[in-house]
Amino acid sequence: MHQILIVEDEPAIRGVLRALLASENYRVIEAETAARAEVEARSHKPDLLLIDLGLPDGDGINVIRHVRSYSALPIIVLSARTQEEQKILAFDAGADDYVTKPFSAPELLARVRAALRRGARGGEQSHRLKLGSFRIDLSKRETHGAAGEIHLTPLEYRVLECLARQTGLIVMQNKLIGEVWGPDRIGDTRSLRVCMKNLRHKLEADPRRPKHLITEAGLGYRLRVDEES
């Protein structure tokens, strides 16, 4: 049974989250302040941290930064803050995902499952991906669709490998650029956009409405794979 630490100062929202997570057989630990959050994170060693940013005794971003300094557990922010700069601060501090309030219960649970899968893999990428009718073997660098083998460039495979290490979660633009093109190309978002456009034309049934290679505006990209992969 996975343990999830909820850090939220609003009792009503904590109650909703507690019931929602318990319905999926997760064990829930709760904290309503930043100080208590750090105590619970160290003592219980949860499998996932679900945290609000606006806490009565401090900012949740500082909690994320402190927890991330000693733990690789998945961290999902659940916040009413919708500004792009706030999201970037959270990701830079070490958050894995960001859900804005008010939230959709099914979507939140899907994000939790994706984060826990990543945690169970220990950050190790999945070598085989299924994107609709497309099958990708990252280790062999082979891709097949309904019409047969599909050619992907080495650069495109590197982008997929980076996204696959955090399947279902947002990967920041500069992280992708740094890992694929190198740190000297940080900020070159045009090359990344071109690469993603080419990948969608090769791997999406409808490149204009992608279901697997998702843009998170102002942040980065998210890879969604079919469950059976």
Q: Are 39 and 20 in a shared domain?
A: yes
Helix (H, G, I), strand (E, B) or coil at 195: helix
Q: Which structural domain, as residue segments, surrounds residue 185?
A: 128-223
* CATH, residue 14: 3.40.50.2300
Q: What is the pLDDT of residue 227?
A: 59
Confidence grade of residue 178 (pLDDT, cut at 50, 70, 90): confident
Same domain, 84 and 16: yes
Examine the fold and report which residue of 52, 86, 120 is the final residue of a domain before the chain moves on.
Answer: 120
Same domain, 28 and 137: no
Give yes or no: residues 7 and 116 share one domain. Answer: yes
The pLDDT score that the predictor gives to residue 228 is: 42
Q: What is the pLDDT of residue 68?
A: 85
Alpha helices by DSSP H, the chain: 11-22, 34-44, 60-68, 84-93, 105-120, 154-164, 173-180, 189-203
My answer on whether 216 and 150 are in the same domain is yes
Bridge pairing between strands 54-55 and 3-7? unpaired
User: Residues 149, 188: one domain?
Assistant: yes
How confident is residue 229, by pLDDT bands cut at 50, 70 and 90? very low
Each residue's pLDDT tens digit, 92-116: 888 889 999 999 999 999 999 988 8
